[in-house]
């Protein structure tokens, strides 16, 4: 995607909704409670912090900074299976798109069991940190089943397979490595059963052949975009804004501001002790426009979730000139600082391409060394 005009640093370029999204299965199992349709967090900040710290005595300062204070009264539940939604609108959308089929309503005990079996298989093959979810496939199948224009939906899905097919020969997605072979086959078989017994979508049959399923997983692995939402993060942001205004309006309030930041620091330290890096409600989705953005190790834009749900925003990180390509960094925050060799290896395993961005090219003379961190990880793997 090429920029047509000047963008200032921090400017919003576009926003979009995912074609399909799903919360990660372990994240859900561990009660990171979020709207099943849009991933909006369904805990108040206090509930969120108490759970992450495993301490029910914590009382949040400045509750007025928490827009989710009364969220528990607003939650809409599916009457059949108790699944939770942030609004009637999300519940209805989910019902229309896929939930009427995937609902664990006990109406069809065997179908429910098969769905649970597929999710269990996935969880055992893909422990945290999670990158994507088999629920995306289940939802896509249900969406196809419910759709009155299957061809259009399939075409949209096919667009994500660009780059997967041709380059698949050279690089294999890490989900498809030898050690997962039998688990991948079990999953494929279970999904094939699901299609034959309950869905009968002839257009999806190919994806459930050995080749088709490998390509489907590569497509998901390569295109999925992580989504994170959090009641705590919003409260922290509002508290920080509050202390900023206080500091500027009253001299004495400076002390109040630092009280809040001490309180926030203490919370994060405790969460780190008890829950580690797993703070957010997490999931992943397929986004049509975002998936057209190329990677650069020196990107000029980034993904943000400004609405604390699955609406994705692309925001510039520096000034962008007309005719400049808009790029994002596919790597996680900490992987971005690794050596060229390590970055290229990660990108090959996860996104199936060899990065030749400006930064990689300018670092081409550096030896093919992995970052120190990664070396120690590899050593641990070998043990
Ligand atoms: Zn929602
Ligand atoms: Zn339901
Ligand atoms: Zn690069």
163-209 tens-digit pLDDT: 555 444 444 566 667 777 888 899 999 999 999 999 999 999 999 99
CA of 21, nearest ligand number: 1
**Residue-level pLDDT at 26:** 95
**Nearest-ligand number for the alpha carbon of 76:** 1
Q: Are 101 and 81 in contact (CB under 8 A)?
A: no
Burial class (CB in 10 A: 0-12, 13-18, 19+), 280: buried
Ligand nearest to the CA of 83: 2
State both tokens at 253: 């309030």
Residues near ion ligand 3 (CB < 5 Å) are: 297, 355, 357, 360
Q: Once rounded to an integer, what is the mean pLDDT over residues 253-266? A: 75
Which is more confident, 334 or 76?
76
**How confident is the model at residue 175, as a pLDDT?**
65
Q: Which residues have C-beta within 8 Å of that of residue 226, sequence separation ≥ 6?
A: 131, 282, 283, 284
Query: From ligand 2's centre to the CA of 85, what distance in Å?
Result: 10
| Short-list 238, 231, 265, CA closest to 32 | 231
Provide ipTM, 2 decimals. 0.93
Which ligand minimizes its atom distance to the CA of 362?
Answer: 3
- Of the listed ligands, the closest to the CA of 330 is 3
* Three state DSSP letters for 105-161: CCCCHHHHHHHHHHHHHHHHHCCCCCCCCCHHHHHHHHHHHHCCCHHHHHHHHHHCC
Read off the pLDDT of residues 208-217 as tens digits, 9 standing for 90 and up. Answer: 999 999 889 8
With contact defined as beta carbons under 8 Å apart, do 174 and 349 qualify? yes
Nearest ligand to the CA atom of 351: 3
Q: Report CA(71)–ligand 2 centroid distance (Å).
A: 20
Residues 6+ apart with CB under 8 A from 136: 20, 21, 22, 220, 224, 284, 285, 286
* Distance from residue 109's CA to the centre of ligand 2 (Å): 13
**Alpha carbons 324 and 359: distance in angstroms, whole number:** 16
CA of 79 from ligand 2 middle (Å) equals 6
Q: Residues 75-133: pLDDT tens digits? A: 999 999 999 999 999 999 999 999 999 999 878 899 999 999 999 999 988 888 888 89
Distance (angstroms) between ligand 1 centre and the Cα of 76 equals 9
On whether the CB atoms of residues 94 and 36 are closer than 8 A, the answer is: yes
- DSSP summary character for residue 305: -
Task: Report, as an integer, the average pLDDT of 308-336.
Answer: 94
pLDDT score at 169 = 47
pLDDT band at 242 (very low <50, low <70, confident <90, very high): confident
Q: Is the pLDDT of residue 332 over 90?
A: no
Q: Find the 227 Cα to ligand 1 centroid distance in Å.
A: 13
């Amino acid at each position: 995607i090429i920029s047509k005009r000047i963008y200032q640093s921090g400017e919003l370029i576009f926003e979009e909704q995912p074609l399909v999204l799903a919360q990660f299965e372990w994240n859900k199992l561990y009660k990171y409670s979020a709207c099943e349709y849009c991933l909006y967090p369904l805990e108040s900040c206090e509930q969120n912090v108490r759970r992450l710290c495993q301490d029910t005595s914590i009382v949040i300062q400045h509750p007025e900074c928490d827009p989710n204070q009364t969220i528990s009264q607003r939650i809409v539940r599916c009457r059949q299976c108790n699944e939770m939604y942030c609004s009637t609108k999300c519940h209805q959308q989910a019902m229309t798109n896929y939930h009427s089929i995937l609902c664990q309503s006990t109406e069809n005990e065997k179908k429910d069991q098969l769905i649970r079996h597929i999710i269990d298989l996935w969880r055992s093959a893909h422990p945290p940190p999670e990158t994507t979810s088999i629920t995306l496939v289940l939802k896509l199948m249900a969406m196809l089943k419910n759709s009155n224009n299957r061809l259009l939906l399939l075409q949209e899905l096919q667009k994500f397979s660009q780059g997967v097919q041709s380059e698949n020969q050279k690089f294999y997605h890490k989900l498809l490595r030898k050690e997962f072979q039998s688990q991948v086959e079990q999953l494929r078989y279970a999904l094939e059963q699901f299609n034959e017994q309950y869905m009968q979508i002839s257009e999806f049959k190919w994806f459930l052949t050995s080749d088709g399923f490998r390509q489907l997983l590569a497509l998901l692995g390569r295109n999925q975009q992580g989504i994170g939402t959090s009641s705590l993060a919003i409260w922290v942001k509002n508290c920080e804004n509050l202390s900023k205004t206080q500091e500027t309006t009253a001299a004495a309030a400076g002390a109040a501001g630092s009280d809040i930041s001490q309180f926030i620091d203490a919370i994060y330290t405790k969460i780190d002790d008890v829950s580690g890096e797993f703070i957010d409600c997490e999931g992943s989705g397929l986004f049509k426009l975002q998936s057209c953005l190329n990677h650069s190790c020196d990107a000029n834009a980034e993904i943000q979730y400004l609405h604390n749900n699955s609406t994705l925003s692309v925001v510039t990180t520096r000034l962008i000139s007309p005719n400049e390509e808009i790029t994002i960094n596919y790597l996680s925050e900490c992987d971005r600082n690794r050596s060229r060799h390590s970055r290229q290896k990660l990108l090959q395993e996860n996104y199936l391409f060899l990065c030749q961005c400006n930064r990689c090219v300018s670092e081409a003379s550096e030896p093919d060394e992995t970052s120190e961190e990664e070396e120690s990880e590899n050593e641990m793997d070998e043990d």
